[in-house]
Structure 1
Amino acid sequence: MALTRERIRHDVAEVLDEDPQDIPFDENLVDYGLDSVRIMTLVERWRREGVEVTFVELAEQPAIEAWVALPGVGA
């Protein structure tokens, strides 16, 4: 299963308790409050759905545009 940019944005907004429209696609999500615990929450959620992603991949480039470009993540 692959994730769309909008799906990633929605999931990030959910773990940050923000409106998805307030989450940019191309900015560092750490600046919006994304921390290691929330990244692990996303990793676990997406792995349960069959997305092959690691904490390190997401933490190295914490931006939706970077994540959607990862092999096995983006649609």
Structure 2
Amino acid sequence: MSDAPALTLEDVRRDVAEVLYEDPAELTDEEDLIDWGLDSVRIMSLVEKWRKRGVQVTFADLAERATLADWWAVLGPKTAA
């Protein structure tokens, strides 16, 4: 387990915006991330990044979900306290 602080929704927003080369302020919780260009390669890179922070998440946990709100519903309970 990592010593990194718990993942927050704002961390998720920033990380997603980074892989999409967008400003985090542009991504609302209900934006369809697929419409923004999110693909399986980018999802895997996010999964790996968050695993390094101690979040037990898989590609399958996120692949069928398309918004930050959906992702946070999965990630929030899995974050390190």
* TM band (smaller chain): 0.7 to 0.9
- The aligned residue for residue 3 of structure 1 is 7
Structure 1 unaligned runs (5+)?
none
The TM-score with structure 2 as length reference comes to 0.82
Structure 2 unaligned runs (5+)?
none
- The aligned residue for residue 78 of structure 2 is 72
Instruction: Say whether the 8 Å CA contact 1:30–1:62 is kept in structure 2.
Output: yes
Q: How much identity, in percent, do the aligned residues show? A: 56
Match of 1:37 among 36, 41, 59: 41
Amino acid at match of 1:36: S
- Structure 1 residues 61 and 73, CA gap change in structure 2 (3 angstroms): farther
Runs ≥4 residues deviating over 6 A: none
CA radius of gyration, larger in: 2
3-state SS in 2 of match to 1:57: helix
3-state SS in 2 of match to 1:33: coil
Instruction: Say whether the 8 Å CA contact 1:29–1:62 is kept in structure 2.
Output: yes
Amino acid at match of 2:55: V
RMSD (Å) for aligned C-alpha atoms: 1.8
Count of matched residue pairs? 75
The TM-score with structure 1 as length reference comes to 0.88
